Each structure stands twice: as structure tokens, then as C-alpha cells.
Amino acid sequence: MRLQEVLDLNSEAVGKMFVKRHWKMLAVAIIGIILAMAGAVMVYLWFVEDAQSTGMVPSTLSQVSVGHIVDFILHLAFWEVLLVGIPVAVSAIAFYFLWWRRLPSGERREYRRAKIFGSDSHSTKAGNGISFAIHVFILLKIYMDGNWNVAISTWSLDYLVNTGLWALLCILVIAGIPMVIGGLWWLSGGKDKIKGMDKDKYSTDGC
């Protein structure tokens, strides 16, 4: 068996051990992430409507200038940080000191060594894939709405925002369901069963 295969098996074993030991905290973290994402979307929708009603940005894209875009981004970032970012940061700090720091140092080193929380390269690849998929679904929504050959300047800001959110929702549904099923299968030992079947097959062939 190659070294990389040994490391992969060790990471899977440590990952399962982590889930079995700390499944309650993992569930809390997942719920917190979902709530944070939902909160960010709600703040975004609220600000888009408020920005149009107060005249910060025009309702049609044909009247939008660079100044409008810069003001919109700066004000949106302020409200997202104030209403979502700060609570998330406080929760993360509390999570770190009240739970993670209280774990035995050897256990924490084992989790870091196994990279059960993923690596930077994997996160970058996943982010690029999600970004590409969102753009594909945005184009699909535009085509389905019959706006493929319609001038972009005639679109409303609400339409552009809703199209982007629709694309994001599609990605979450399409990717989320297989991830949940795969995670439950992984936790139930499905991969280990397949490996055991392969070993039995090879031993039978050898006879």
C-alpha cells in the first residue's frame, strides 16, 4: 500500500472518530453556518430594496454608474459586517475558547495532522467550481426567462439579484442532497464495507 493511501485511510479514521466524539458540537456548527448564510442573504435582500427606495442606486441598470456601484458595495459591506460578520466572529471566538481549546492538546494535534477540516488547495478548487456553476445557472435562468437577447441595460436590479439567488439556491440543492447522502453513507461505514468486499474478492481470486 502506498504512503498516500495510508495517509488517506488514517484521515478517514480520524474524521470518523471526530464525528463520533463531537457530533453534537458539529451539529451546532453546521446549524450556525446555515443561520449565518441565511442571515447574510436576508441582509442582502433588505439592503437591495432599501438602496432602491432611498435612491442610493437606480432601479434599472441603464442608469447605474460606477459611483452607484462603489457606494452600494461599501454600504452593503458595512451592514453585512455589522449584522452578520460581528455576531459570527463573536460566536467563532466563543466556540474556539469554550470548546476547541478545552480539548486535549494531543487530540487537537491529531485532527490537524489528519487535516479533517480540509486543505487550502481543496477549498480553492471547490470555490472555483462553485463560482463557475453559479455563472452557468445564471445564464440558464436568463435563457429560461426569455431575456437572452434582451439588452442588459433594460434589466432591473431586482431581477439581477433574484437571478443570482436562484442560481445559488440551485447549487445548494443539487450539491447539498448528494453531500448529505454521502456523509451518512460514509458515517455508516459504507466505504469500509466496499473495501472489505474487494479484499474478499481478491482472496477468492487468489485461491
The residue that leads in pLDDT, 6 or 81, is 81
Lowest mean pLDDT among 91-100, 103-112, 176-185: 176-185
**pLDDT tens-digit map of 39-52:** 999 999 999 999 98
Q: Where are the domains of the chain?
A: 1-118, 119-207
> Do residues 68 and 58 make contact, with C-beta atoms less than 8 angstroms apart?
yes
Distance CA 89, CA 85 (A): 6
The structure's pTM equals 0.73
**pLDDT tens-digit map of 159-190:** 999 999 999 889 888 887 887 787 777 667 65
* pLDDT reported for residue 194: 43
Q: In the block, which residue shows the cell 442608469?
A: 63
* pLDDT reported for residue 5: 44
* pLDDT reported for residue 201: 43
Q: How far is CA 92 from CA 5, 73, 98, in A?
A: 33, 25, 10
Give me the mean pLDDT over the 137-165 stretch. 91
* pLDDT reported for residue 107: 84
